[in-house]
A and B are shown apart, each in its own frame.
Chain A
Amino acid sequence: MRSFIASKFPGTRKRGLRIALVTLVATGTIGGLVAAAEGAGFARSSAPRLLVWVDATRVAQVKAYEKSHPNVKVDVVTYDGNDGGSGTLQSKFALFNRVGHGWPDVFFSGENYDAASIASPQYKDAQVLSDGLVATSVLKKFAAGTLADCTVNGKIVCLRNDIGQDVLWYNKKLMDQFGYAVPTTWAQWAAIGEQVAKQHPGYIIGSAGNAFDDEIYLQASECPMSKLLNSYTVQISPTSPNCTRVANLLDPLIANGSVPVVSLFAPTFLKQYGSKVLMMTGPSWYGDFVFANPSGLAVPAGQIAAAAPLSWTAGKQPVTGDVGGGLWFVSSHSKQTKAAVAMATWLATSYKSQGIGPTYPAYTPDQAPWVTAQQKSGYFANDLGPVFAKAGTEIWSGWSALRYAPDSIWSSTVIPALTGGSTLASQLPAFGQGLKNVAQVNGYTVKG
């Protein structure tokens, strides 16, 4: 073959080698120059350069930070925010921990359970903020209970972005039209469900096909399925009366169709139930994201209102669940801890950041202006402010932040079974067993 090429193209072999050598040297030189330039750039500028990992929704808040702090250089990397316990954050940290560099300075997680795993001895990637880095006065201004998800072994390792407190959303126009009073207890709510199934079939009072339904229904019932007793022990009691009463409440409603097993975000939900939602217990961000959203249910203005979360005992202060919240962390490996802490604190507390978010702020001083801004649109049929504020203080803290997300067991075990026709009552033990298995794999001891 060599002789063949040489005969057809004289001098090719030598010329080819020369070209290859020159290209190699050129690439090497260029690469070296670029590296040197970057290095020199770092050495020359004294302004901090922060690497931030956020999900798509929070990019706007980081951009607001950049606008307010033009002297700080920010590199933004977007990822899925660890939504639904996808594990992306853990895999990123596992890789960077092995390699020994590449950690961010500030990072966001949309999964409330991440503080426990990221701060665990296996990862050790979260900076402790309560030992003086963030002023106690600032920490105190977060709504009561919201920093519980950020507390690991008594130390606060993150700042809460928002609260997704569950309230009772209802369609005032439809409720008035059908002559139903807004319920205050779960029993009243179920009774309306029975009536709706008979009088107005097709209309719904809730849904049971979402990954976070365990937080909407079980957390609000103080059902101990993910209760941390101490840092190594979890209580998982599927036979507790607080859990079984939820199943007894929901099963007839699932059977009569007033609480269908369909995901709120499925195209079929919009088609079948889009204009037929009478009531729905859900987080505060449902208002903007689900009801008002033109690509969501797009309910016309003036119909949707929010009421206090339902209570299990008439007259007693309700306990509610929460869906979401978002956590701002500072990496324990950050070389610019002070700047990173300042940035994380600003993102979680400044109204310039929280006001842009579609979610109800966890930082109390930002809550009232946020609600005012929402009310200005005139979309909602009542004043959300007092409802949100009160519900924000009623979240049950017994649904602890663990090193795993119960949601993933709920959606892979319970929802398929409900879809297949099983009752929730029959699935609670399986849910409990699934949680027990995952808890043990993650190093917890389980108390039944």
Chain B
Amino acid sequence: MTLLSVTAVRGERSRARRSSPTARRRSTARLSKAGYFFISGYVVLLALFGVAPTAYAVYLALTSAGGHFAGFSNFTNAYNDFRFVPAFKHVAEVMVIWLTALIVFVVGLSLMLHSMARRLSGAFRFLFYLPGALAGSASVLVWLFMLEPGVSPWNFVLSALSFKNLDQVLLPGHLPVLFALIAFWTGAGGWIVVMYGALNNIPNELLEAAKLDGASAWQTALWVKVPLIKKWIAYMVILAFAAGTQLFVEPQLVGQASLGLVSQYWSPNELAYVMAFQNNNFNEAAAVSIDLLVLGLMCAGAVVFRSKLFEVD
């Protein structure tokens, strides 16, 4: 059977199952009720901890300290702050490295896992996921230990790069790579598990058909598997972009632990924090947060429309 005929047969079979009108109505009614129940908890929490704070931030960003309407002055003041542009530059550098690494390695590794024997791939999936099980700050502390020459188990790597002390490891030019590395180490494992699940959804008949058509493992991976998990990759890109622009824990903890070698406003999220709690300027901090929100929404919008993420086939 060829690829096309397999799809055709599957379509017929599924259509046949849903033919009876009463059966269809009962099943969809049951499905929709269950659906509402399952998302109800999430919606409540989203409203309380997502929508309400966002609305408050928008209010703060458009008003001044006294509560009067301030137009876009908070946004322009924040932009003109000497820390604003460097912070966004830093995060842009981290994002380029991190997103590329994430997409290439997560998809690559999950494809490799998918082609491995079940038990072996299970063991590897567990290993990849393990770093992600550590909370963000705990993983940064592990990394601080790994980056300190003299105490790090990877000292041979550090001395090969001629890093004799932490100051040399944390030189400003190295920071984007370091933070991308730490974020990747914690984040990739979870996404590999998700991608592996997505790959498992691909019906075996398709893969067999591809094999019969003469596709090699490499071609199957690239031209059959990847297009079918395109929506999952898009989903990963949206979430990774949002998380990346909001980088906070890594520069904050590394800065504190190194007694100030990384400035306190290295990333935009840290800048908002400093503006709010050191400069007591909640309005400008809210403006920076809204800037980050808009960035995330723009990326999400672009990805959703390009990949038709919400279209059901």
Contact = CB atoms under 8 A, between A and B. Distances in A.
A84 B259 contact: yes
B207 to A, nearest CB: 35
Interface residues of A, number: 39
Given A211-B259, A415-B261, A94 B277 contact: yes
A437 interface: yes
A266 B277 contact: no
A442 interface: yes
A87 B171 contact: no
A91 B277 contact: yes
A90 B277 contact: yes
B162 to A, nearest CB: 12
The size class of the interface chain B forms with chain A is: 35 or more
Nearest to B30: A1
B150 A271 contact: yes
A265 B33 contact: no
B165 interface: yes
B260 A1 contact: no
Interface in A251-275: 261-263, 265-269, 271
A383 interface: no
A416 interface: yes
B171 to A, nearest CB: 6
Contact of A123 (B170, B256, B280, B282): B280
Contact of B277 (A84, A87, A413, A442): A87
B197 to A, nearest CB: 25
A91 B33 contact: no
A268 B149 contact: yes
Interface in A116-152: 117, 122-123
Mostly, the A contact residues are helix
B168 A419 contact: yes
A337 interface: no
A262 B165 contact: yes
B151 A84 contact: no
Contacts of A210: 259
A268 B279 contact: no
A90 B255 CA distance: 18
A131 to B, nearest CB: 25
Contact of B148 (A211, A267, A411): A267
B59 to A, nearest CB: 14
B260 A407 contact: yes
Contact of B263 (A84, A211, A408, A442): A408
A86 B278 CA distance: 9
Contacts of A415: 167, 260-261
- Of A84, A209, A262, A419, chain B has the most CB atoms within 10 Å of the CB of A419
A123 B276 CA distance: 12
B260 A412 contact: yes
A408 B279 CA distance: 15
A122 B277 CA distance: 11
Contact of B264 (A123, A209, A408, A442): A408
Interface string B162-188: 001111101110000000000000000
Contact of B167 (A1, A94, A262, A441): A262
Nearest to A440: B82
B262 interface: yes
Interface in A391-411: 404, 407-408, 410-411
B167 A265 contact: no
B273 to A, nearest CB: 8
A412 B34 contact: no
A10 interface: no
- Of A87, A90, A441, A442, chain B has the most CB atoms within 10 Å of the CB of A441
A1 B170 contact: no
A70 interface: no
A1 B38 CA distance: 12
Contacts of A416: 167, 170-172, 261
29 contacts: A1-B33, A1-B34, A86-B256, A87-B277, A90-B280, A91-B278, A122-B280, A123-B280, A261-B167, A263-B165, A263-B166, A263-B167, A267-B150, A267-B151, A268-B149, A268-B150, A268-B164, A268-B165, A271-B150, A404-B278, A408-B264, A410-B260, A412-B260, A412-B262, A415-B260, A415-B261, A416-B261, A419-B171, A437-B83
Task: Give 3 closest A-B pairs by Cβ, nearest first.
Answer: A411-B260, A91-B277, A412-B263
